[in-house]
Amino acid sequence: MVEKVEKRAIVGWRNLALGCAILEAGSSTQLLTGTWRLQHPVIDQQLCNRCGLCYIYCPDMAIIKTPAGAYEHDLNYCKGCGICAEECPKKAITMVEEEE
């Protein structure tokens, strides 16, 4: 199961680095683009044949391969674009509306 990431990079203007500079590498992992999402994907693990096309097509690297070989979405970063659902040859992924 993918763990939820705490927002650390998003600070108030008084704590922002001079000129909005980024002083450390890897800060984009702290920007939770999953908050932009209107729909989230749900995988039917019974239908999934582990082909990995969703993993390849995902533009945000928001699909994780588990040690057991299954695929899961990382909802910290999944923007809900639906490409994985569109490309899945087994129609194992469905997009579900986010609740208010």
Partner 1 sequence: MPTRTPIEVSIAISKAVQQADVDVIAAYPITPQTHIVEHLSELVADGELQAAFINVESEHSALSAVIGAAAAGASTFTASCSQGLALMHEILFIAASLRLPIVMVVTTRALSGPISIWNDHSDIMAERDIGWLQVFCETGQEAYDAVLQAFRIVRDPKVQLPMMVNVDGFNLTHVIEPVYLFEQEEIRDYLPEHRQLLRLDIDHPLTMGPVGVPEVYTEAKKQVDAALVGAKPVVLAAWQEFAERYGRFYQPVETYQVEGAEIILLTMGVISRTAMSAVDRLRATGKPVGLVRLRLWRPFPLEELRNCVRHAKIIAVIDRHLSLGAHGGPVCLEVRAALYDLPERLRIFGFVLGLGGRDVTVADFLEIVDRAEHYAAAGQPEEYSLIGLREV
d(CA 99, CA 87): 25
* CB environment 12-35: b (16+ within 10 A), e (fewer): eeeeeeeeeeeeeeeeeeeebebe
CB of 30 to partner 1, least distance (A): 10
CB of 59 to partner 1, least distance (A): 16
Is 89 a binding residue for partner 1 by CB under 8 A? The answer is no
- The site map against partner 1 for 5-34 (x = CB under 8 A) is -----xxxx--xxxxxxxx-x-----x---
Q: Are 30 and 7 in contact (CB under 8 A)?
A: yes
d(CA 81, CA 10): 23
Nearer to partner 1, 16 or 61 (CB): 16
CB of 51 to partner 1, least distance (A): 33
- 23-82 binders of partner 1 (CB under 8 A): 23, 25, 31
Q: Are 31 and 9 in contact (CB under 8 A)?
A: yes
Site residues for partner 1 per CB under 8 A: 10-13, 16-23, 25, 31
